[in-house]
Structure 1
Amino acid sequence: MSALPIKSPEVITCHEDCLAQADWPGAEPTVAEGAELLHWVRRNHFFNSSLWAQEDLARRTTVSAEEIAGNKRAIDRFNQARNDATERVDEILLTALGLVDAASARTDTPISTVPKGARLNSETAGSIIDRMSIMALKIHAMRQQTLRQDVDDAHRASSAVKLERLQQQRQDLGDCLDGLLADALAGRAYFKVYRQFKMYNDPRFNPALVAERASKA
Structure 2
Amino acid sequence: MRAQPVPEPAMTQLLRAQSVVDLHDTLLASPAWPADASLLPADPLWHWVATNHRNNCLLWAEEDLARRTTVGAEEIAANKRAIDGFNQARNDATERVDEILLTALGLVDAASARTNAPVSTVPPGARLNSETAGSIIDRMSIMALKVHAMRAQTLRTDVDAEHIASSQEKLARLEQQRADLGSCLEALIADAQAGRAYFKVYRQFKMYNDPRFNPELVKEARQSKARGG
Scaled by the length of structure 2, what TM-score is found? 0.92
Q: Encode CA deviations 1:86-144: one digit per residue, 9 max, x unaligned.
A: 00000000001000011110000111110000000000000000000000000000000
Structure 1: any 5+ residue segments left out of the alignment?
none
- Give identity over the alignment, percent: 69
Match of 1:169 among 169, 174, 177: 177
Cα root mean square deviation, aligned: 1.2
Which aligned pairs between 1:1-217 and structure 2 lie closer than 5 A? 2-3=9-10, 4=12, 5-29=14-38, 33-217=41-225
1:2 positional shift: 2.3
Structure 2 letter corresponding to 1:14: L
Q: How many residues align?
A: 216
Q: Which runs of 4+ in 1 moved over 4 A?
A: none
1:32 positional shift: 5.8
User: Using the alignment, how far apart are the partners of 1:92 and 1:195 within structure 2?
Assistant: 14
Q: Which has the larger radius of gyration?
A: 2
Structure 2: any 5+ residue segments left out of the alignment?
1-7
The structure-2 alpha-carbon separation of the partners of 1:77 and 1:151, relative to structure 1 and needing over 3 Å to count, comes to: same
1:49 positional shift: 0.2
Structure 2 letter corresponding to 1:43: T
Structure 2 letter corresponding to 1:163: L
User: Using the alignment, how far apart are the partners of 1:83 and 1:28 within structure 2?
Assistant: 18
User: Using the alignment, how far apart are the partners of 2:36 and 2:25 within structure 1?
Assistant: 17
Scaled by the length of structure 1, what TM-score is found? 0.97
1:24 positional shift: 1.2
